[in-house]
Amino acid sequence: MALNLTQKIIQAHLASGEMKAGQPIALKMDQTLTQDATGTMAYLQFEALGVPRVRTELSVSYVDHNTLQEDFKNPDDHNFLRTIAAKYGLVFSRPGNGICHQVHLERFARPGRTLIGSDSHTPTAGGIGSLAIGAGGLDVAMCMAGNPFSLKMPKVVKVYLTGALPAWVTAKDVILEVLRRETVKGGVGCVYEYCGPGVETLTVPERATITNMGAELGATTSIFPSDSMTRQFLKAQDREDQWENLGPDEGATYDREIHLELDKLEPLAAAPHMPDVIVPVRDLEGKPVDQVAIGSCTNSSYVDMARVAMILRGRTVHPRLSLGIAPGSRQVLAMIAENGYLNDMIGAGARLLESACGPCIGQGFAPPTNGVSVRTFNRNFEGRSGTATAGIYLVSPEVAAVAAVEGKFTDPRTFGEYPKVTMPERFKIDDSMFIFPPEDGSKVEILRGPNIAPLPVKGELEPRLEGVALIKVGDNITTDHIMPAGKYLPLRSNVPEYAKHVFESIDKEFAARAKAKQGGFIIGGENYGQGSSREHAALCPMYLGVKAVIVKSFARIHLANLVNFGIVPLTFQNPADYDKIDLNDHLHIDVSDLSRPLVLDNRTKGIKIPVVHSLSGRDIEILKAGGQLSLAKKQAGA
């Protein structure tokens, strides 16, 4: 049977299940990655499993999110992460080494390997031919302990590329066009597999930009073949021996297809406040811009930075705005410094930011009140930038650089000659900011600061759930809405404190109400929980006593996180029944047998509402135990 690339890698790593779309499967994971905002909790969970050393081919702990160090909390977390990596056999990437996805692509990601990461943009590594999946930290902890990763066999969407990108049109415009067609929920349950003659024209960093923002489709992951272009990149990274020639079999079939003619694309922008609100840049011509930010795990590669520098060369940033630039890795920063590109940026008046996530997660460089911020990032959710009233536009580095010079949106095709930048034949290799673990870490002392709180664990599922509707929210609620990042990131290792801010941007009284009511239910619309993989969006509501979340539809990672922490995820059998529940309605449901039809009893209105779920037998077992960690402990005891 002819297999597509996704099926080939899944087949080679299949621990259980059948490759039938929608059916439960489990995959052996070769590699894991964490970042510091999710990693501290993931390693507390790994510790609780009692495994003496990670059982993966490679596990890397990156520090790239929480780097401001306004007080003791961040540096304490970093010490915890560094010492726990040494004890349990992980590679530790020190602060300043760069953004996890950019660095992993450069130094560790491999064709044909599976990778699970506690960050939703882990699919970036799909640009090099890895099957890379974002998940909650607990799922990553379980994989580090040697367990397979459970999911439903995804559908595979063939994205057939022809032609080549014209001047001033970039990989960012490719994925924005896919988002325009597919929307932020169109990829749920799918892998987007890129193929066709147009693939040969895209470098690995360009491919990684596309797979990175596949997360915004709600996709399980995205992947490119491993070909001569992949080999060239690995050779330049002194890793040619890790190259494999991988692609779909001739005659491979797909669940559906999309065709993109690269030569017919134009510069695009995602307008506020969703990554699928796509407009041509020419339609924004002349709109004043207050801030420009260039970087993030999406667009911070060497070529991205070099091209920005060439646009800025000999020019000055417009007086009405501020330009911040964050190279994606120490490797990128060193190379643009050596080649003079950094001088071009600084000479133009750009502000150099850390090689970290920073503004993308609302940590610094926030826009002004009601400001228009043009960013090369992957998300523009309302309030995520740190300024609730700002309008965030997502664009390519080229469009951003031109806007920084002009002070307004400008179709870059009218700006002048397109800067030509070629991929280096050899990147600057310096792995000194990685700390590789000792062979025996048993004597390593783990350093724990006072902000690292004990790990909350839920008891077994009650047969009957009763409580009030604590909050009712609409469609496309993100994990940023549920658990804000930015200034609250230092609280990630302290659930009792962090839980005080659940739903703060929507309803400041939510946490206090949930505590006073001793828990209850969350009611939501379509695509609930989209965005970041942050498991705290399930863990903190669990801590507050949330018993079930009832919505029209879920985003994949958040659905899994709810199960992992023992919160029952249900959907309305009839989406119109969403209108039959209001805030503070008293609800009751019998969940003693999740294999039979379920009925939600709205006792305030005297209405019976049928609800359904998509839980596998394993999911039900996890829920009954009170979450995945509780089940693992129970099984270990047995």
Residues involved in catalysis: 64-65, 119, 379, 532, 534
- How far is it between the farthest Cα atoms of the chain? 71
- 25 strand-pairing partners: 17, 151
Q: How far from 492 is each of 7, 77, 124, 351, 356, CA to CA, in Å?
A: 36, 9, 24, 28, 18
Helices (H), 414-535: 479-482, 495-498, 510-516
Reference 403, options 526, 232, 286, 524; nearest CA is 286
**Residue 200 has what DSSP assignment?**
G
Reference 227, options 252, 253, 200; nearest CA is 200
C-beta atoms surrounding 253 within 10 Å:
13
Tell me the C-alpha distance between 530 and 474, whole Å. Answer: 12
Give burial (CB, 10 Å; 0-12/13-18/19+) of 538. Answer: buried
Our CA angle for 518, 523, 528, nearest 5°, is 120
Helix %, strand %, coil % of the chain (to 5) = 35, 20, 45
Tell me the C-alpha distance between 624 and 595, whole Å. Answer: 12
Contact 564, 136 (CB under 8 A): yes
Q: From its phi and psi, is residue 342 left (phi > 0), alpha (psi between -120 and 50) or beta? A: alpha
Q: How far from 260 is each of 42, 155, 164, 175, 193, CA to CA, in Å?
A: 39, 19, 10, 10, 13
Tell me the C-alpha distance between 638 and 621, whole Å. Answer: 15
Tell me the C-alpha distance between 407 and 289, whole Å. Answer: 6
Tell me the C-alpha distance between 187 and 223, whole Å. Answer: 13
Would you state the structure tokens that stand for residue 400, as one six-digit string? Answer: 């951003």
3-state secondary structure at position 361: helix
Contact 635, 51 (CB under 8 A): no
Helices (H), 89-170: 100-107, 137-144
Reference 291, options 375, 352, 362, 353; nearest CA is 375
Cis peptide before 104 (omega within 30 of 0): no
Q: In what order do the strands lie in the sheet with 91-93?
A: 131-134, 114-117, 31-35, 58-62, 91-93, 434-435
